[in-house]
Amino acid sequence: MKIINVVGARPNFMKMAPLIEAMRAYPGIRSVLVHTGQHYDTNMSKLFFEDLALPTPDICLEVGSGSHAEQTARVMVEFEKVLLQERPDLTVVVGDVNSTLACALTSVKLGVPVAHVEAGLRSYDRTMPEEINRILTDAISAYLFTTEKDAETNLLKEGIPSERVFFVGNVMIDSLLRHLKKAENSTVLADLNVVPRGYALLTLHRPSNVDDKANFVKVLSAVAHIQERLPIVYPVHPRTRNKIAEFRLEDRYPFLANGSRSLRMVEPQGYLDFLRLMRNARLVLTDSGGIQEETTVLGVPCITMRESTERPITVNEGTNVLVGTDTASIVREAMLVLDGHAKKGRVPELWDGNAAERIVRVLAEKFDLARAAS
């Protein structure tokens, strides 16, 4: 059985690594790793291959950045050539980035079934590009692997037959649990001159927050407040760095020019360094999707600066609090944490480090049956 495994952007790499590892246990599976090149900087891609010991991609599409249409279309055109040449039995896509949808769509049109890992998550906010990618990828996938029970409910509401849906747990947490120990060797805390629980960790890159100047300013005003109380480590996503320059925000917030003692602006971090930073933070402030889940497992308080989340379990069971982008709300929630009133949580069901094995077991069973019947 030949499987094409697709990665494209930073949040894909830690989801794919355990899947490839689990596939190795089945001698009948031949895995071909395709990197679309949606993310291409060393910090956004290469470092992750090293930290996660991912194999070098067999095929690189090198599509790079562009508008949504350009990027998605370029992936489709290039990926179609790969499918025609490789003729796989299955394409595996993870997450919700443009590469996920582009490769899923190209596959089904050529009659190659798709397995979607991390299916069924819904923010119910269709202005989020990822929400469109999630809905469409799920609609055309043959095997939908979910991380939480709500995801299955969402899928069934959209008319997806329950036989296609498998609740297996969270592959991103597989990676997290596997790398925690190794991350302790990272020197990032000393390098940045911070101590465990002595800093907050900030990430910010969602278009609704950083492409919209008014929203960006609201969030930055909160950051300016919080850093007076606790130093903040801030790895800056390239999209956000571009927007800071475009909106000339350094004029209004001088600390954005090159950071300050209380706001350490750094390049995007590798997987292990970021894991160490997250695990030892007093508080995480983010608009990311995956970080809401990782902090829940690490038991670190997470303040999510978004109006909605596609990962409600992190709020219902985990350490996540959804505060929106109102300056006062963000500051209020951060102060609650700093005053010792952080939300406690528990680790969700099946987030136990074995999701990838469950997924590959399902696939192996399905394909044996399919082969026997034909």
Catalytic residue numbers read 205
Residue whose C-alpha is closest to residue 6's, from 38, 29, 43: 38
In sign, the C-alpha dihedral spanning 58, 61, 64, 70 is negative
Give dist(CA 349, CA 167) in Å, integer. 10
Identified binder of ligand UD1 from the candidate list 78, 130, 273, 333, rule CB under 6 A: 130
Residue numbers 84-123 binding ligand UD1 by CB under 6 A: 96-98
What residue ranges in 168-262 does DSSP mark as E strands?
200-202, 232-235
Minimum distance of ligand UD1 from residue 97's CB (angstroms) = 3
Q: Which residue has the tokens 């390049």?
A: 267
Residue with smaller CB distance to ligand UD1, 41 or 250: 41
Q: Which two tokens stand for residue 86?
A: 């490789």
From 164, 178, 229, 239, residue interacting with ligand UD1 (rule: CB under 6 A): 239
Structure tokens at 281: 């933070």
Indicate which single residue of 129, 259, 299, 324 sits in contact with ligand UD1 (rule: CB under 6 A): 129
**Residue 40 touches ligand UD1, criterion: CB under 6 A:** yes
Residue 312 in contact with ligand UD1, rule: CB under 6 A: no
Site stretch for ligand UD1 (CB under 6 A), options 7-15, 158-166, 176-184, 341-349: 7-15
Distance CA 259, CA 250 (A): 10
Distance CA 103, CA 353 (A): 27
Query: Which one, of 296, 161, 285, lies nearest residue 219 by Cα?
Result: 285
Q: Is the distance from CB of 167 to CB of 161 less than 8 angstroms?
A: no
Tell me, what DSSP letter sits at residue 230?
A: S
Does 57 interact with ligand UD1 (rule: CB under 6 A)? no
**Which residues contact residue 17 at a Cβ distance below 8 angstroms, ignoring those fewer than 6 apart?**
52, 53, 54, 175
Candidates 15, 39, 218, 243: give the one binding ligand UD1 (CB under 6 A): 39
Of 205, 218, 243, 311, the one binding ligand UD1 by CB under 6 A: 205
Contacting residue, 7, 17, 22, 44, with ligand UD1 by CB under 6 A: 44
Choose between 26 and 40: whose C-beta lies nearer to ligand UD1: 40
- 44 or 226: whose CB is closer to ligand UD1? 44
Contact between 10 and ligand UD1 (CB under 6 A)?
Answer: yes
Using CB under 6 A as the binding rule, whether residue 41 contacts ligand UD1 is answered as yes
Site for ligand UD1, rule CB under 6 A: 9-11, 38-41, 44, 65, 96-98, 129-130, 205, 237-239, 242
